[in-house]
Copies of this chain bind each other. A is one copy, B any other.
Amino acid sequence: MRILVTGAAGFIGSALLRRLLMDATIAEIIAIDLAEQPFGWSDPRLRWISGTLDAALLAGLGEPSFDRVFHLASVPGARAEADPALGRRVNLDASLDLLQWLAQSRLRPRVVHASSIAVYGTLKEAAVSARTEPRPATTYGAHKRMVEIALADHTRRGELSGVSLRLPGIVARPRPVSGFGSAFMSELLHALAAGEPYVCPVSAAARCWWLSRKAVVDHLVLAGAADICGPLQLPALHLSIAEVVDGLAQLFGAERTRLVTYEPDERIEAVFGRYPALDARAEMALGFAHDGSVAGLITHALAAG
């Protein structure tokens, strides 16, 4: 099996790559990233390509011949909102270039696109599922939705077998966490685990969708093998900040709760702190699973690798 991974040096990409390299049925992995190959990642099956993902780089690779493609390369939402031309280039144009290049393949490759819950836009009180009509309210969400549409069209044309996974904020991103509006979710976990004080920009009652990197790598691998196309809403735990702080206290000691002070910023709370319930029953029936419990989430989120 031949695999392509874009954004391979990233937070999720690097963990996915480590997982894939443990699979003996994989003969070759082409990894693309802006960054150089990380030190110590040598594996005879891994070919690392450092550069900007675009039509020119892809043309240089010749004819595509992959069984599975994991497209993770992306600039985060806050950065795309501040620099929409950069967002277009990376999150939209490079993605479309990739799909167009892959569409030449005779293998009808499986393409797993890391989309985002940002496609839904402003969330109401009703539970969200993959059938919720997307109304993106950020440039990042607009571009992700446009790529979902392009991937669905290549799938309809019979050129690709595409699935778009709508990822929530993934924890715990390494510090310093920048460019993400949901950075506080990772910062909270790191700070309390390290016994440091933390000023939380949302209230204790703020509710978010929580998913660990370990769980999202499980999802990517499963989506690569699953026989379903179109958008999927990844399941995630629907927890308040207070519930996560309680979970941290149970793992690290009750005194940790006193490290948190709340200074809610209404702009952050409105966008990242009032998530409704998530209805991912259809995806759970396919085997996609969240971290199971607050303890599972925290343990997975803080695990190395």
Give the interface of A toward B (CB within 8 A): 84-85, 88, 92-93, 96, 100, 103, 133, 136-139, 142, 145-146, 149-150, 152-153, 156-157
B157 and A149 form a contact (CB under 8 A): no
CB-CB under 8 A from A93, the residues of chain B are 93
CA distance A53 to B85 in the complex (A): 18
Q: Distance (Å) between the CB of A150 and the closest chain B CB?
A: 6
12 contacts between A and B (CB under 8 A): A84-B103, A84-B153, A84-B157, A88-B100, A92-B96, A133-B133, A136-B149, A136-B153, A142-B149, A145-B149, A146-B149, A146-B150
A96 and B88 form a contact (CB under 8 A): yes
- Identical chains in the assembly: 2
Identify the closest chain B residue to A87 (Cβ): B153
CA distance A240 to B106 in the complex (A): 42
CA distance A145 to B134 in the complex (A): 12
CB-CB under 8 A from A137, the residues of chain B are 156
Q: Given A96-B88, A149-B146, A150-B146 in contact, is the A157-B133 Cβ separation under 8 Å?
A: no
Selected from B96, B100, B139, the residue in CB contact (under 8 A) with A157 is B139
A153 and B133 form a contact (CB under 8 A): no
CB-CB under 8 A from A156, the residues of chain B are 137
